[in-house]
Amino acid sequence: MAGTTDAPSLYLGNISPGTIRVEFAQSIQRALLSEAARGCVYHVAGPYLDIARNEVCTQFLNETTADYLLFVDSDISFEVEHVKTILADTHRMSSNSKHGAVVGGLYYGGANSYGTDRRGTMPIAYRWGVCEDNSTAAGSAIHVSLADDDPRLAATEPQIVSAVGTGFMCIPRKVLELFAEHYENPTPYFAQVVLDGVWMGEDLTFCVRAEALGVPVYLAPHVRVRHWKMTVV
């Protein structure tokens, strides 16, 4: 490992438009004070999230020696144990894969996610499939949110999925180094592509790229973090 010969090391990564939730700041503080994370790299995000995430990845590779980068979005709150668990899971899954593995924690978002007209909230974790509802993505091969009764959501070990969000995503250094060998600047890690007529976003594009390079993507449903959203009623 790059950072140490014994326990794996981790840096937090964040992009933000300049405003963050107090709950997020408290979570970051706890992680740093407990030394679950060595430090934090961040970048102020503009309208193009892939550019900001690429900058964080570049800082992580060039300015730290840590083994893992844990992206945490500014509307996520978490406990120290979540950091320790996802690091352990990613380290273990990466040890079983030639190129490493990507692991995302479980959180929920609004029901307008990729290819569904479901109401309420849904997990930010996806399977590769064909959209069958009446949305504008109908008939397209895209990532569709896992169904509420998907057994993977109740598991206590990491589960293979097609994609996870970057809200709480742990990435090994060697995965980023692999990406840099195959994808060119200015988007060597994250990009925003249109696939089969559907805009994928930078998080799903990252997972598509990982799959293409033989890097498995896992959901850690037992790492359940909070996703803070404002609701108007």
Note the maximum CA span of the chain: 53
The pLDDT tens digits of the residues spanning 154-167 come to 999 999 999 999 99
Is 208 inside any structural domain?
A: yes
β-bridge pairing 217-224 and 102-106? parallel
CATH of the domain at 155: 3.90.550.40
- The number of distinct structural domains making up the chain is 1
In a domain, 232, yes or no: no
Note whether residue 233 is domain-resident.
no
Residue 4 located in a structural domain: no
Q: Encode pLDDT of 13-50 as tens digits.
A: 999 988 889 999 999 999 999 999 999 999 998 888 99
Query: Which region among 67-76, 114-123, 173-182 has the lowest average model confidence (pLDDT)?
Result: 114-123
Enclosing domain of residue 72: 10-227
Domain contains 61:
yes
Q: Please report which residue ranges of 39-155 form alpha helices under DSSP H.
A: 49-63, 80-95
Closest CA to 79 of 26, 118, 140: 26
The better pLDDT of the pair 37, 186 is held by: 37
Confidence of residue 128 (pLDDT cuts 50, 70, 90): confident
Residue 223 counted as domain residue:
yes
Do residues 73 and 188 touch, judged by C-beta distance below 8 A?
A: no
For residue 41, give the 3-state DSSP assignment.
strand
Give the model confidence (pLDDT) of 210-226 as tens digits: 999 999 999 999 999 99
Those residues whose C-beta lies under 8 Å from the C-beta of residue 33, and which sit 6 or more positions away, are none
pLDDT of residue 2: 55
Q: Evaluate whether 8 touches 68 at the Cβ level (below 8 Å).
A: yes
- 190, part of any domain: yes
- Tell me whether residue 5 is in a domain: no
